[in-house]
Amino acid sequence: MTDAPTVRFLDRTTPPHISTLIFLAALQALAQNIFLPSLPSMTEWFDTQYRVMQLSVALYLAMNAILQVIIGPVSDRYGRRPVMLISIVLFMAATLGCIYAPNVESFLAFRMLQAVMVTGLVLSRAVVRDMVPQAQAASMIGYVTMGMAVAPMVAPAIGGALDGAFGWQASFWLLFLLGALVMWIAHRDMGETALSRSASFAAQFREYPELLTARRFWGYSLAAAFASGAFFAYLGGAPFVGSEVFGLTPTMLGVLFGAPAVGYIGGNFASGRYSVRFGINTMVLVGALLSAGGIAVSLLIFLAGHGTALSFFGFMTFVGLGNGMVLPNATSGLLSVRPHLAGTASGLGGAIMIGGGAALSALAGALLTPGTGATPLLVMMLVTGVLGVASILYTIYRDRQVNAP
């Protein structure tokens, strides 16, 4: 296949429109953090401790990683469309469960079930790879992730405003209504794209070694994991650096904290614009170098004694820029190593990224203590960035071996 198939919006006899894929991925991103400003009021509502309420984030991410491994094979076996529609229904039911949960234990259980919406992210990538070749897939995934990047940028502000006006449940009612809207759009628009399916799960599991022993799959997966890992480490350590090292107010910290998101949108735009022209390997390498380079410059400024809040957060824009170039292209690469296992590869690759990133986020929080400054965080991010560069360089080397005449 060299050209994208004909697509008609709200016509399920054709593959889904890219806007539908953006909505599916964005709903998952919105569900991940729209309620965060409500955690204090939810702690009071459920008469519990804040650290218990924070499990709504950790458990969601853990279930997110587990489901990504499961969803891919299920969609390879039964198709993208039915798996997606069932997942949205489960998400809506879980959201109602969160709203009417009688205690914190019930809420956390329903919150874990909400993670089923990660299907939107996994299958939006797999659907793209079903539709178009590798380079075009990277371009389309770039536009999908650029579109979904807007959701986590605005979600906390929306959630905070809804909490102030109507209480913490309002954020979950919004998620329920958006789930219903996305369900209608997906039902009308999402034609099936997984036309070749395994005969059984047993047959599919027998194909796992084919994917897991593919060195290029691991190369692309690790390049993506290290790129996203640097960002997750930033998420875990930047609030401490901003408040404890630089003494920023919550308002100013919130403004500067979004610097990587600005770069991420730019990187995704570059992926959408240039991946077909320059190829995915070049885009991943350039993105990894930009991310590592920005961190290195920021670290040198701190070691020279001239670090400021503006230099720290400003150079984090390069981390976002690099992620925006690395993630869609590396994802396209790992999906293309074994195209008949695109759903499985999407889920496993996503689990590697989320799992590794969550671990680095926790490590960043553990390394930073009063008096350490920003240096431990920057060193860890730089090591992660360099490992990302090494991963894609090995993948390029392996790719040339595989494709050598």
378 with 248, same domain: the answer is yes
70 with 143, same domain: the answer is yes
Inter-axis angle of helices 104-114 and 80-100, nearest 10: 160
180 with 229, same domain: the answer is no
Average pLDDT, the chain: 83
For 163, other C-beta atoms within 10 Å of its C-beta total: 21
Residue 400: what pLDDT?
Answer: 83
User: Which residues 6+ apart lie within 8 Å of 280 measured at CB?
Assistant: 134, 135, 138, 329, 330, 332, 333
281 with 388, same domain: the answer is yes
Report yes or no on whether pTM surpasses 0.75.
Answer: no
Domain boundary pick from 138, 170, 197: 197
CA distance 319 to 260: 6
**CATH number, position 364:** 1.20.1250.20
The structure tokens listed for 269 are: 């735009």
Three-state DSSP at 369 gives coil
348 with 221, same domain: the answer is yes
Residue 202 lies in a domain: no
The secondary structure of the chain in percent helix, strand, coil, rounded to multiples of 5, reads 85, 0, 15
CA distance 192 to 207: 22
pLDDT mean for each 10 residues of the chain (405 residues): 66 86 88 77 86 76 82 83 95 98 96 93 82 72 68 71 87 96 94 72 68 86 88 75 77 72 85 86 96 96 91 92 90 80 74 74 68 84 94 90 65
CA distance 355 to 167: 32
> What DSSP letter does each residue of 310-356 carry, written as one string?
HHHHHHHHHHHHHHHHHHHHHHHHHHHSSGGGHHHHHHHHHHHHHHH
Residue 147: what pLDDT?
Answer: 62
Q: Which of 122, 96, 112, 116 is nearest to 58 (CA)?
A: 112
Count of domains in the chain? 2
181 with 243, same domain: the answer is no
The structure tokens listed for 385 are: 């960035």
CA distance 114 to 355: 18
Q: Which of 285, 314, 303, 326 is nearest to 379 (CA)?
A: 303
Domain boundary pick from 197, 231, 258: 197
Residue 65: what pLDDT?
Answer: 80
202-234 burial, b if ≥16 CB within 10 A, otherwise e? eebeebeeebeebebbbbbbbbbbbbbbbbbbb
Domain around 241: 207-405
344 with 226, same domain: the answer is yes
Domain boundary pick from 171, 197, 223: 197
Q: Which residue has the tokens 């008609």?
A: 8
92 with 220, same domain: the answer is no
188 with 211, same domain: the answer is no
101 with 242, same domain: the answer is no
155 with 214, same domain: the answer is no
29 with 55, same domain: the answer is yes
Residue 394's identity, in one-letter code, is Y
